[in-house]
Amino acid sequence: MSDLIAIKGIKEGLLVSVSDAGGWGDTSQVLLARIDQTADFFKGAKLALAVGGRAINAADLGRLRDALSDRGVSLWAVLSDSPLTTNAAQALGLNVALPATTPQTRSVPEKEVDPEEARDEAVLVRHTLRSGRSVRHAGHVIVIGDVNPGAEVVAGGDIVVWGRLRGVAQAGASGDENAVVCALDLSPTQLRIADRIATSPARKGDPKPEMARIKNGQITAERWSPKGKAE
């Protein structure tokens, strides 16, 4: 059922695209369930919903808007090829198009990236994240600096910390079990990848670059080589 939904980062927040398969009632419930699974990632987000040719009336859109609002998510736009859906969105005061200057998917150019890495764009943080600071992004997050205890990084894709990771890190927040977390010193207070959760064991010896990923259903950490591969 999760294949019904695709999530992309855009300038205005998140763009959620839903397929035409299945009934709208089931699809909306799948969307709300996805948000509930990663509530921290979606909380405070502005969401644009692309529904293709689905015909959705104002009452159904209104119920979804209210359900999203209850979860701290703001529905600000509905993109549709259906006149009924477009009219319903306008009646609710929602936008029916993205700004012309914003690519709807903001995908990384194909010529610059391997197909396996064709996820959302990355955000680069060039400073240490101190306690109380939070970085959330639908794509990858790269931190040049430390992530101190009390700070958190939540990413829809991978997390790379060129420093000490001692706060909370959640990669693959939208459900991507192929996401990884890499750090020169991997000592998080809590580490999440998709729906898996782990804490760091007691440090033995000097810190070394490590990559955490899901293997056999569990989060495991392995030596991170300079080439970006686990050893």
- The residue out of 41, 72, 99 marking a domain boundary is 99
Which is it for the CA torsion 107, 8, 80, 48, positive or negative?
A: negative
Whether the CB-CB separation of 127 and 149 falls below 8 Å is answered with no
Q: Which of 168, 135, 36, 19 is nearest to 143 (CA)?
A: 135
CA 80 – CA 215 distance, rounded (Å): 39
Phi, psi of 79 (to 5 degrees): -105, 125
Last residue of a domain, one of 69, 99, 129: 99
Residue 14 resides in a domain: yes
Could you tell me if 119 and 217 lie in one domain?
Answer: yes
Exposure letters 73-106 (e unless 16+ CB within 10 A, then b): bebebbbbebeebbebbeeeebeeebeeeeeeee
Confidence grade of residue 203 (pLDDT, cut at 50, 70, 90): low
The DSSP symbol for 120 reads: B
Residue 150 shares a structural domain with residue 77 = no
Residue 190: give the domain boundaries.
105-222
pLDDT band (50, 70, 90) for residue 39: confident
Q: Is residue 228 part of a domain?
A: no
- CATH number for 54: 3.30.750.50
Percent of the chain with pLDDT over 70: 84
Q: What is the pLDDT of residue 19?
A: 81
| Residues 193, 198, 204: CA angle, nearest 5 degrees | 125
Alpha helices in 6-150 (DSSP H): 24-37, 39-42, 58-70, 83-91
Does residue 110 carry a pLDDT above 70? Answer: no
Residues 152-158 have a mean pLDDT of 90
Domain-terminating residue out of 73, 99, 125: 99
Average of pLDDT values for 161-175? 91
- Domain-located, residue 35: yes
- Provide the sign of the torsion angle of the four alpha carbons 196, 202, 203, 204, taken in this order: negative
Average pLDDT, integer, range 199-207:
67
Q: How many helices (H) and strands (E) does the chain have?
A: 4, 15
Average pLDDT over residues 1-5: 61
User: Which has more confidence, 21 or 218?
Assistant: 218
For 4-23, how does the pLDDT look when each residue is reduced to its tens digit (9 = 90+)? 788 887 777 888 888 877 78
Q: With respect to residue 87, please indicate whether it lies within any of the assigned structural domains.
A: yes
pTM: predicted TM-score of the whole model, two decimal places: 0.53
Shared-domain flag, residues 143 and 94: no
Whether residue 88 sits in one domain with residue 15: yes
Q: Are residues 75 and 124 in the same domain?
A: no
Total of domains in the chain: 2
Mean per-residue pLDDT over the chain, rounded: 82
